[in-house]
Amino acid sequence: MFKKFSTKKKDRENDLELDEVEFLDLDEMEDLEVIDLDIVDLDKEKTEEKEYSLKREIISTVLYLLAVVALTFLFVQFVGQRTHVNGDSMNVTLEDGDNLIVDKLSYRFTDPERFDIIVFPYKYQEKTYYIKRIIGMPGETVQIIDGMVYIDGEMLDETYGKEVMQYSGVASDPITLGEDEYFVLGDNRNNSSDSRDPSVGNIQKDQIIGKAFIRIWPLNKFGILKHQ
């Protein structure tokens, strides 16, 4: 669409004023306005894309954190758990302040073995756990004579005890272990509450939380724990 308008222009040679006719393309102006609108629309689309990208990133982060929490829960519940050693009953193998990862999975598929270091709850106090070494196995008869451990009448060949026991406790008499029962001792034999103490007694397999697996602290002692 064109709109007509005129301007005066003087012819120098004839001293005449002439009308000069010009046409303005109004459609072109409308096109310019449309272009401006298109730019606005593009900016709006970019803003929406940024908002969508931000929302997607937030959702992705939330899902990732949920997955980490879920995997951590499953790991702690069924696979491994960090344990802090409090006390000296397992000296010199473990010391006060050591941090361990307890393997909670292995005993779901295999039975505990002699000399395994295990963690189990103390039945007379909530949220209290003991860490000891398995000495007597199911079906065996355990007795402590003159500070030495005897299994089925034969002295046990072991090097984990820190010193000769001065206290035999209930094991001064023969103790025959039932099915799935274990007799446990601390390596620091004269500073340990263990199966010699009636409050601890024999440990049932279903009481065992897991086997001490890795020492993670202190760093200079980091590594897999020796059991056998």
Please provide residue 18's backbone torsions phi and psi, each rounded to the nearest 5 degrees: -115, 150
Residues 6+ apart with CB under 8 A from 193: 89, 130, 186, 199, 200
pLDDT tens-digit map of 15-69: 444 444 455 454 554 554 544 555 556 566 667 777 778 888 888 888 888 877 7
pLDDT tens-digit map of 193-212: 999 999 999 999 999 999 99
| Selected catalytic residue, list 104, 132, 162, 211 | 132
CA-to-CA distance for 216 and 42, rounded, in angstroms? 56
Mean pLDDT, rounded, for 153-169: 89
Mean pLDDT lowest among 13-17, 76-80, 112-116, 182-186: 13-17
What pLDDT is recorded for position 66? 80
What pLDDT is recorded for position 7? 47
pLDDT tens-digit map of 162-194: 688 999 999 999 999 999 999 999 999 999 999
Mean pLDDT, rounded, for 81-107: 92
pLDDT tens-digit map of 214-224: 999 999 999 99
Domain 85-224 has CATH 2.10.109.10: yes
Omega cis (within 30) before 68: no
Assess whether 89 carries a catalytic annotation: yes
CA-to-CA distance for 171 and 156, rounded, in angstroms? 14
What pLDDT is recorded for position 156? 94
Mean pLDDT, rounded, for 111-127: 93
What pLDDT is recorded for position 68? 72
- Percentage helix, strand, coil for the chain under 3-state DSSP, each rounded to 5: 30, 30, 35
CA-to-CA distance for 91 and 51, rounded, in angstroms? 59
| Selected catalytic residue, list 6, 44, 89, 205 | 89
CA-to-CA distance for 7 and 211, rounded, in angstroms? 102
What pLDDT is recorded for position 202? 97
Tokens found for residue 130: 């003991």
Assess whether 132 carries a catalytic annotation: yes
Domain spans in the chain, listed from the N-terminal domain onward = 2-77, 85-224
More confident residue, 79 or 128: 128
What pLDDT is recorded for position 160? 83
